[in-house]
Amino acid sequence: MTDLNILGISGSLRAGSFNTALLRNAQKHAPAGMTVSRYEGLADLPHYNQDLDNEESRPESVTRLRQAVADADGLLIASPEYNYSIPGGLKDLLDWASRPAADSVLRHKHVAVMSSSPGAFGGVRGLLSLRQMLLATHSHVVAKPEVMVFGVAQRFDDGGNVTDEMTINLLRELLSALHDQIRG
């Protein structure tokens, strides 16, 4: 059996993003039978505009996004919380990927989600709003564990490796749950 091919998506564009760093650690701690790659096209995606969503006008960045999601066995989304929801860029990604609604690449896609924040609440609100969006897209979201890493700055070494045992275990549990959900 070939490895499950998971597409990792960070909601942050910041070079030093903790969420992007979490994804890199998830790549390292993925269970046997699973490979996590990373989507890096977020900055190039325009805002969703239905007038552009046709064969003549569709940006190539959108076509590439949809193909990448279609090719993946599952998604792993790591997102910061901006203003009690997810960043606009990540929302645009979901908006583009969710069309056409009846037959989108997000439909029936297995998705694991996590958030992290330097503050006390770990992105709880952003993650709830993300789950609500993924109900709309009819994606199959891993319910537990809920991975919301608060005080995230203290959990990394200088090389960008998560050193906090609890966080590593949560990453592993989340990826295992995604694995089992996909394999059924």
- In the complex, which residues of this chain contact a copy of itself (CB under 8 A)? 13-15, 42-43, 45-51, 82-95, 98, 120-122, 124-125, 128-129, 131-133, 135-138, 140, 143-144, 148, 150
Least distance between a copy of itself and beta carbon 89 (Å): 3
Least distance between a copy of itself and beta carbon 35 (Å): 27
Lookup: tokens for 118: 């330097």
C-beta neighbour count of 63 within 10 angstroms: 12
Residue 138 or 172: which CB sits closer to a copy of itself? 138
* CA–CA gap between residue 137 and residue 48 (Å, rounded): 15
Phi, psi of 18 (to 5 degrees): -70, -30
Residue 121 or 156: which CB sits closer to a copy of itself? 121
Least distance between a copy of itself and beta carbon 105 (Å): 14
Residue 96 or 162: which CB sits closer to a copy of itself? 96
- In 3D space, the residue among 179, 104, 109 whose CA is nearest the CA of residue 140 turns out to be 109
Q: Are 89 and 19 in contact (CB under 8 A)?
A: no
